[in-house]
Amino acid sequence: MSNENPLIPLNFEQIPTQIGTNDQFAELTKGGDYLGRLQLFTKGRAVNMSLIAPGHYGIPESDDEIIDLGKSVDVLPLARRAKAVDMSDTGQIVISHDMKSNEFDRIASQADEGKPHRQYGVSFLIYERTTGLFLEFFCGNKSSRIESKKVSPFLPLVQGDIDAKARAGRDVTNLKPHGPVPMTLKVRVAENHKGSWHVPVVVDCSVPFTHMPPEKTLATEITKFLSVSDSGLEDATNDAAAN
């Protein structure tokens, strides 16, 4: 039955098409209770398979699906934690968030020695503008670790942090408490005698975030992100945890 010329045009502005909010439906369509990740792609299988262009940010959904966000991404950084990952055994990926642990030190030392499949650095919880998703952005290699220090001014700042900086002898004259500040992740090409690759670049974002999740959701996601086991060790033995 053709509806190209309906006798009575239907005005969708005047009738409901769903019961519930978009945020509620987004919760229903989650694939699992794990945090997705924002990744800058430069080389590897995903690029070779044309799942995403080199130098683009993406959100891996599965082995064969990546949400391509392009070369520029607006995010709100919400929290940070240390992270070291040993992926040398894909059947038992080891993750440590405790910088004082022997496991963290082992992974970091091996990464500095150039052993493959080991990374360490700062892991950020971010809220991405276009997808409305909470994601992890892990700065685990040398280039991203250097750039990660530029994210700090965009993180929420509370009076307790300012007081701690003052006790440490830092100049806090111009510091005032504030919530998360929008920032933009861009891309540049780095190169040396071994070749070239893409690295993240942190810059100011002049466009405010006009749509934000409820405060309760923000608090829940931040708390979950910062909650790790007492030992600081996390055995990522399944695909969801590895993601």
Largest CA distance in the chain: 76
Mean pLDDT per block of 10 residues along the chain (243 residues) reads 55 74 68 82 93 96 94 97 92 91 95 95 97 96 94 93 93 92 95 88 94 92 84 52 41
What pLDDT is stored for residue 240 in this prediction?
39
- For residues 232 and 228, what is the distance between their CA atoms, to the nearest angstrom? 6
> In the 3-class helix/strand/coil scheme, how is the chain assigned residue by residue?
CCCCCCCCCCCCCCCCCCCCCHHHHHHHCCCCCCCEECEEECCCHHHHCCCCCCCEEEEEEECCEEEEEECCEEEEEEEEEEEEEECCCCCCEEEECCCCCHHHHHHHHHHHCCCCCEEEEEEEEEEECCCCCEEEEEECCHHHHHHHHHHHHHCCECHHHHHHHHHCCCCCCCCCCECCCCEEEEEEEEEECCEEEEEEEEEECCCCCCCCCCHHHHHHHHHHHHCCCCCCEEEECCHHHHC
What pLDDT is stored for residue 16 in this prediction?
76
The DSSP bridge pattern shows strands 56-62 and 39-41 to be antiparallel
- For residues 201 and 215, what is the distance between their CA atoms, to the nearest angstrom? 29
